[in-house]
Structure 1
Amino acid sequence: MPETSPQHAPPDSTQVLFQAVATWNTPQRPAAQALIQPLLILERQARLHRHALAPQDLQGTWRLVWITGTQKARRRLAPVLGAGRYLPKGLGITLTYDWTEAGTVANQVCLGPLSLTLSGPAKLVPPRPILAFDFTQVTLAVAGRPLITRPLRGGPAATASFYTQPVQKQAFFVYFWVTPQAIAARGRGGGLALWVRQDPSPENPSGS
């Protein structure tokens, strides 16, 4: 699977990121602040090359491990977020993309046996590496058993109209680093985020 980031990025830019991907939940991980500059370098390089995404690039489940927060959140919570932070190991936040038919996304937050899942439609916006999405359903579950499922923001009607709406009116991520092991993006709110693959990929059957 090709990376959307250019192959000409400085080696050190990806070296520290791959180290973080492999060790994010161990004491050997790089300092959270050490990821900022490599990500910004890759983002600048990606803007020059504008590689479009393919559905298979994002297919599967990705665990959020590092964030900077949105620009608004950084202004309010600068002492807490700093220049970036790893998420606690006990807090599982995942994104699952599925392109079996129309594109869908599920954002799940797990804390112990409880899980809250926001789901809805997703679409790619070529030629830029943009993925737009909307959450039109919420599900609360305990130990994997759904307790409550409710529509959000128009539910099925919003889902049906999503694919023809302009991206300017939608939430989106701009992915500037995409590999079989990890992905990184900037959200519409200005925050940076890094996810690691949680499920096996064709190039990495063990999922490690």
Structure 2
Amino acid sequence: MSTVDFPTILEQAARSTDRPTKDVTISALLAAEKTTKRSGLVIPFSSLVGEWRLCFATGANKDKQRGGIRLGRGYYLPKFAPASISFTRDSQSEDCNTGTITNKLLVGTVRFQFTGPCRYPGQKNFLAFDFTELQFKLLGLTLYQGKIRSGKRLGKDFEQLRVAELPFFTFFWASPTSIAARGRGGGLALWVHD
């Protein structure tokens, strides 16, 4: 059985214009995830801090026959419609594994930005978060900026919420140039540091 050179493939997928096929990238992501789980590798929160552009993602569907999930085909995101995620540390907290998550999507002259708290307990490379603010801009002009809350989470502080109530990522790859994770819905994502 041959092993997948996932570090090289993931770096090529994140950085190169000569990208691997979608199937090769998915195989590399799965190999990285399996290797991280088997080795018990802990990715420090400091490896995630910064801004990361989403370059590849898969969806996931429930597979009723197998009793699990089935990954979607995957796709590379075009650079002309960038989506990014960023993590910053909470400098006022004694806990160095709490901070802020920001998710941005730019389509032409329209920008959506979701922001909220995140916590990274370090166990199993798990990052829980909650988007609590939305900003919507058109041509650089802010059309809306305000708080958002899910009806289920309304009235609870982020620290009091159980993980079962929150969206999350489980990270399994972190290099100086790219990070990768599986989301709560089962899909995989690869981001590149710009």
TM-score (norm 2): 0.82
Q: Who is 2:57 aligned against?
A: 67
Q: C-alpha displacement at 1:82, in angstroms?
A: 5.3
Q: Provide closer, same or farther for how the CA distance between residues 168 and 49 of structure 1 changes in structure 2, counting only shifts above 3 A.
A: farther
Q: Who is 1:201 aligned against?
A: none
Post-superposition Cα deviations, 1:16-49, rounded to whole Å, max 9, x if no partner, equal 11111221xx3x2211221111111111111123
Please state whether the residue corresponding to 1:121 is helix, strand or coil. strand
Aligned partners of 1:50 and 1:164: how far apart in 2?
28
Q: What residue ranges of structure 2 are gaps of 5+ in the alignment? A: 63-70, 92-97
Q: Who is 2:46 aligned against?
A: 56
Post-superposition Cα deviations, 1:107-160, rounded to whole Å, max 9, x if no partner, equal 0000122100011010103221001111111101134442210211169x9697
The one of 7, 13, 16 equivalent to 1:14 is: 7
Aligned partners of 2:159 and 2:42: how far apart in 1?
18
**Which stretch shifts more, 60-69 or 11-20?**
11-20
Contact 2:22 2:75 in 1 (8 A): yes
1:173 aligns with 2:163: no
Aligned partners of 1:176 and 1:91: how far apart in 2?
26
Please state whether the residue corresponding to 2:13 is helix, strand or coil. helix
Please state whether the residue corresponding to 1:65 is helix, strand or coil. strand
1:140 aligns with 2:140: no
Q: How many residues align?
A: 177
Q: What residue ranges of structure 1 are gaps of 5+ in the alignment? A: 1-9, 73-80, 199-208
Contact 1:51 1:127 in 2 (8 A): no
Contact 1:70 1:191 in 2 (8 A): yes
Q: Provide closer, same or farther for how the CA distance between residues 192 and 34 of structure 1 changes in structure 2, counting only shifts above 3 A.
A: same
Q: Provide closer, same or farther for how the CA distance between residues 11 and 104 of structure 1 changes in structure 2, counting only shifts above 3 A.
A: same
Q: Who is 1:189 aligned against?
A: 185
Query: RMSD between aligned alpha carbons?
Result: 2.3
Contact 1:120 1:159 in 2 (8 A): no
Identity %: 36
| More strand per residue | 2
Q: Who is 1:84 aligned against?
A: 74
Aligned partners of 1:65 and 1:56: how far apart in 2?
21
